[in-house]
Amino acid sequence: MRILIVAATAAEIDPCVARLKETGYDMASPYQARFHLDVLVTGVGMVATAARCAQALALQKYDLALNLGVCGTFDPLLLPGTTVHVVSDCFAELGAEDDGRFLTIQELRLLGDDEFPFRGGRLVNDAPPLNPALGALPAVDGITVNTVHGDERTIDAVVRRFHPQVESMEGAAFMYACLVQGVPFAQVRAVSNVVERRNRAAWKMTDAIHNLSATAVEILDHV
């Protein structure tokens, strides 16, 4: 089995790789293990993620792609540090302003609600890997943005519009590339912060990355 792990930054993936090495996985001799693992650090944002993922998936056939990263939460039940499986996502800013309204790309009739790879205007993971560690995670709906939210007015507006539980800057781009290439995938994220007026003091980045790494190793243990 050949697996691609995708992360926006090395900080999000390095602890996972270190844990794998601690368990005896040899990155230099992957064929001695149950799977061959490739790691792709795309850079931050949906453009970098889409371009790098498309290139990687076109050049090599993968049995599974895992997107590992952090996210912000709109859901008060998802406390910082919680690891989640994002099963649907969308590009929340893709559309047009019409005075005080926002029109999605589907409402503009530039893309059908169910035009591939979308379903109901969202990117949906219909067939995630049958993996007990993955299945144990809360399944959530996300949005992907270029500008993370930090203003009460825009937070209220995006929650009313899309009803997201989490947001990231890369997730939907990763899912889009996997759906187009027909690669089984999962987007796994750990909550680093509540989506609110920017408050770095309340972020739990260390806890989030620690829990993300532990979850990633557990998922790989069950492939």
Instruction: Please tell me the predicted confidence (pLDDT) of residue 114.
Output: 93
Full residue range of the structural domain in which residue 77 is found:
2-221
Total number of domains in the chain: 1
| Averaged confidence pLDDT in the chain | 92
Expressed in angstroms, the distance from the first to the final Cα of the chain is: 9
- At 85-113, the pLDDT tens digits run 999 999 999 999 888 889 999 999 999 99
Q: Cα separation of 36 and 65, whole Å?
A: 12
- Tell me, what's the pLDDT at 28? 57
189 burial via Cβ count (<10 Å: 0-12, 13-18, 19+): buried
Residue 127's domain is classified under what CATH number? Answer: 3.40.50.1580
Segments of the chain scoring below 50 in pLDDT: 31
**pLDDT at residue 221 in the model:** 86
Per-residue model confidence (pLDDT) at position 23: 66
